[in-house]
């Protein structure tokens, strides 16, 4: 396995205290635009995900990729592998690449490519926004739908035109600001259950985001503004476990459905196979995935898909002067070989089960 390190190119100067003002989202999008073809592709991707969530498309939705993107070369290599796999599994599984450029921190730590693209604590946010947008654009241009986490509300506008799916994390699901933001996005968004493992907060978030709002925000020109939203009908629940342990088992899924029914929400659930559902042990993710797949094959139609944290190679590493190529710098990830095997086996099982699930004699 080769090593790598990053250095700031001359064309992207390191952050200067004299340059505190960021470009507006409109300015960055004009500097790094997307083509009409790519814009239509992203919209088609979103519509496909909506169809899966509604049950019109019977495929399994899988959000898979690195815990966070930290090195463009390894991210693009992963994307190349994933697009080839997506094409071979497309009849049964719809793959979306996890392409997170912001990372929530419980205390301190590396906040993601958009904040510190050179991985050295320089916090060159100006360059980070450009590096992150260019990388997301390059991945999407390969034909892959991409997923991102909506972490800082101001940052979302720099990347929203490239996202086919988005998540609101366990720490921010309770945030009114994030609920208002999601209500104005034309993107399917999954709200994760709270860090305690309960789903009530996420149900409240989905109900709030489904309604129109008038709220404080920042316009695309970079000015403080009053924003009016129409409401987002494409939100859903993501089970990621909590302090008490995993919540992907049949009992937990049934309890989540009951809570969603009481809140008059459609039963649309994804399971995050990492985080507390795997006990933060990356090698347990395939077992969680297999359990959820079995529930779906047994007729649990509320389970629309899963999430996997995966990179080129297993594990994780700390930031340093020389790092291993294709290894996560945040949460430990499943390596590519195990990822490919997990998804390929799932597609085979889904294909085999199709006649039985449709009531056709075999």
Q: Which two tokens stand for residue 226?
A: 């009053």
Round to whole Å and give the CA distance between 282 and 275. Answer: 9
Question: Which H or E run contains 47?
Answer: helix 36-54
Round to whole Å and give the CA distance between 250 and 53. Answer: 19
Residue (of 169, 166, 99, 167) closest to 134 by Cα position: 99
Q: Where are the alpha helices (DSSP H) in 112-236?
A: 125-141, 153-156, 176-183, 200-209
pLDDT tens for each residue of 261-289: 999 999 999 999 999 999 999 999 999 99
Q: Does domain 24-352 have CATH number 3.40.50.920?
A: no
End-to-end CA, the chain = 47
Round to whole Å and give the CA distance between 111 and 113. Answer: 7
User: How many whole angstroms from its chain centre is CA 315?
Assistant: 19
Q: Which two tokens stand for residue 243?
A: 């302090």
Positions of the chain with pLDDT under 50: 17, 360-362
* Widest Cα–Cα separation across the chain: 72
Q: Enter the DSSP assignment of 271.
A: E
Is residue 347 within 8 Å of 289, Cβ to Cβ? Answer: no
Round to whole Å and give the CA distance between 223 and 205. Answer: 27
- What length does the chain have? 362
Question: Which H or E run contains 74?
Answer: helix 72-89
Helices (H) and strands (E) counted in the chain, each on its own, are 10, 12
Round to whole Å and give the CA distance between 234 and 65. Answer: 22
Question: Which H or E run contains 259?
Answer: helix 250-262
pLDDT tens for each residue of 31-47: 999 999 999 999 999 99
Q: What pLDDT, on a 0 to 100 scale, did the predictor assign at position 20?
A: 83
Q: What pLDDT, on a 0 to 100 scale, did the predictor assign at position 3?
A: 52
Q: What pLDDT, on a 0 to 100 scale, did the predictor assign at position 361?
A: 39
Residue (of 59, 102, 89, 79) closest to 306 by Cα position: 59
Round to whole Å and give the CA distance between 160 and 172. Answer: 18
CA angle 219, 144, 184 (to 5 degrees): 25
Is residue 302 within 8 Å of 268, Cβ to Cβ? Answer: yes
pTM, two decimals, is 0.93
Residue ranges of domains in the chain: 24-352
User: How many whole angstroms from its chain centre is CA 207?
Assistant: 21
Neighbour count for residue 19 (Cβ, 10 Å): 10
Say if residue 8 is exposed, middle or buried (CB neighbours under 10 Å; 0-12, 13-18, 19+). Answer: middle
Round to whole Å and give the CA distance between 230 and 38. Answer: 25
Q: What pLDDT, on a 0 to 100 scale, did the predictor assign at position 362?
A: 33
Q: Which single residue is written with the structure tokens 């814009």?
A: 39
Q: What pLDDT, on a 0 to 100 scale, did the predictor assign at position 98?
A: 98
* 3-class SS shares of the chain: helix, strand, coil, % to 5: 40, 15, 45
Is residue 285 within 8 Å of 309, Cβ to Cβ? Answer: yes
């Amino acid at each position: 396995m080769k090593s790598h390190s990053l250095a700031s190119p001359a064309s992207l100067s390191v952050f200067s205290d004299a340059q505190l003002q960021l470009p507006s989202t409109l300015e960055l999008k004009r500097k790094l635009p997307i083509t009409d073809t790519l814009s239509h592709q992203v919209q088609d991707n979103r519509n496909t995900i909506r169809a899966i969530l509604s049950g019109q498309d019977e495929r399994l939705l899988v959000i898979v990729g690195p815990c966070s993107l930290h090195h463009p070369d390894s991210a693009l290599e992963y994307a190349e592998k994933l697009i080839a796999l997506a094409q071979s599994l497309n009849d049964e599984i719809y793959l979306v690449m996890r392409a997170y450029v912001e990372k929530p921190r419980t205390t301190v730590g590396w906040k993601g490519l958009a904040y510190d693209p050179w991985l050295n604590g320089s916090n060159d946010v100006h360059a980070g926004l450009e590096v992150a947008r260019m990388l997301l654009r390059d991945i999407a241009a390969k034909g892959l739908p991409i997923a991102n986490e909506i972490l800082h509300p101001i940052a979302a506008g720099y990347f929203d035109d490239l996202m086919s799916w988005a998540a609101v994390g366990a720490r921010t699901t309770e945030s009114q600001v994030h609920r208002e933001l999601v209500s104005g996005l034309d993107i399917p968004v999954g709200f994760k259950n709270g860090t305690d493992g309960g789903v009530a907060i996420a149900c409240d978030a989905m109900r709030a985001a489904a309604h129109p709002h008038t709220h404080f925000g920042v316009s695309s020109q970079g000015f403080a503004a009053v924003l009016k939203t129409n409401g987002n009908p494409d939100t859903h629940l993501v089970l990621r476990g909590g302090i008490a342990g995993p919540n992907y088992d049949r009992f937990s899924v049934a309890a989540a459905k009951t809570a969603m029914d009481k809140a008059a929400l459609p039963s649309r659930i994804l399971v995050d196979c990492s985080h507390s559902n795997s006990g933060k042990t990356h090698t347990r993710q395939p077992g969680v995935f297999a359990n959820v797949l079995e529930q779906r094959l047994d007729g649990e139609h509320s389970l629309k898909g899963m999430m996997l944290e995966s990179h080129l190679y297993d594990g994780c590493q700390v930031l340093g002067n020389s790092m291993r190529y294709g290894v996560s710098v945040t949460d430990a990830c499943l390596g590519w070989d195990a990822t490919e095997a997990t998804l390929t086996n799932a597609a085979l099982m889904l294909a085999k089960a199709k006649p039985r699930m449709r009531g056709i004699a075999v």
